[in-house]
Structure 1
């Protein structure tokens, strides 16, 4: 298992960024890689609240973890401390043991330079899942905000 970290400066207040992290409509729009579409099945933004999301590849080439072209993960919110912190634990739904196991994602938000510094730490990433599919923040599944920009408007 590995740990990855992504850091982004966002041109929005910590409250606005926090709101985007706990909104099912916002999650469906931005927390998905460019090559996939998202469906939010369950999303209860409260401590202990459930999360279940499917990400489906736009093209038929890539193999999914949960079904032929889909990655579905489910989990729960562990801690919510508005507007500074969101901690969730997620696990891919898969028959392949290489993809199983809980990943903890800690989003820390700090006011900085007229916006928000977002740090997303992903603990427990599986070796079978390359970083582009487990780093659900920062231009991939972590935040979906462009990886090529260090200052992004929300």
Structure 2
């Protein structure tokens, strides 16, 4: 049985994109494109690479690439340190791309929210939907 005081919650956001997986993969793995829809970064698509995501609010996320399956899966650690430990977050973000008849099904899972992090959990759920809106606008413009 899972101890409810240590169990974590997961945010899942899924969307159908009218673009092939390769186009979405570029937007997920090329630093200049990531900066357009997510955050400024020094990302390199290589397992073990440590990088930073810098939000417009000035916050910095410490990340590390955990898994890459070219064109299909990308996972990285997404850690945020805060002066107040209640706001610090240790999580893993995983993107899974599945080809569909009309383009690509993109699934994002961010795991690691503690039960006491209701505000962060809700914020992530809303935030990822907004990030996906920006991702869709970007992929609509890409060649």
CA distance in 2, matches of 1:75, 1:135: 21
Query: Could you list the runs of 5+ residues in structure 1 that have no partner in the other structure?
Result: 32-37, 58-69
CA 1:136/1:46 → structure 2, altered by over 3 Å: closer, same or farther? farther
Query: Which residue does 1:78 correspond to in 2?
Result: 66
How far has the Cα of 1:134 moved from its partner?
Answer: 6.3
Local SS of the residue matching 1:44? coil
CA distance in 2, matches of 1:120, 1:55: 19
Quick check: 1:22 aligned with 2:13? no
Computed over aligned residues only, the root mean square deviation of the Cα atoms, in angstroms, reads 2.3
Query: Which residue does 1:48 correspond to in 2?
Result: 48
**TM-score, normalised with respect to structure 1:** 0.73
Query: Which residue does 1:6 correspond to in 2?
Result: 13
**TM-score, normalised with respect to structure 2:** 0.78
CA distance in 2, matches of 1:121, 1:136: 13
Matches within 5 A, 1:90-101: 90-101=78-89
CA 1:28/1:51 → structure 2, altered by over 3 Å: closer, same or farther? same
Query: Could you list the runs of 5+ residues in structure 2 that have no partner in the other structure?
Result: 1-7
Higher strand share: 1
How far has the Cα of 1:114 moved from its partner?
Answer: 2.0
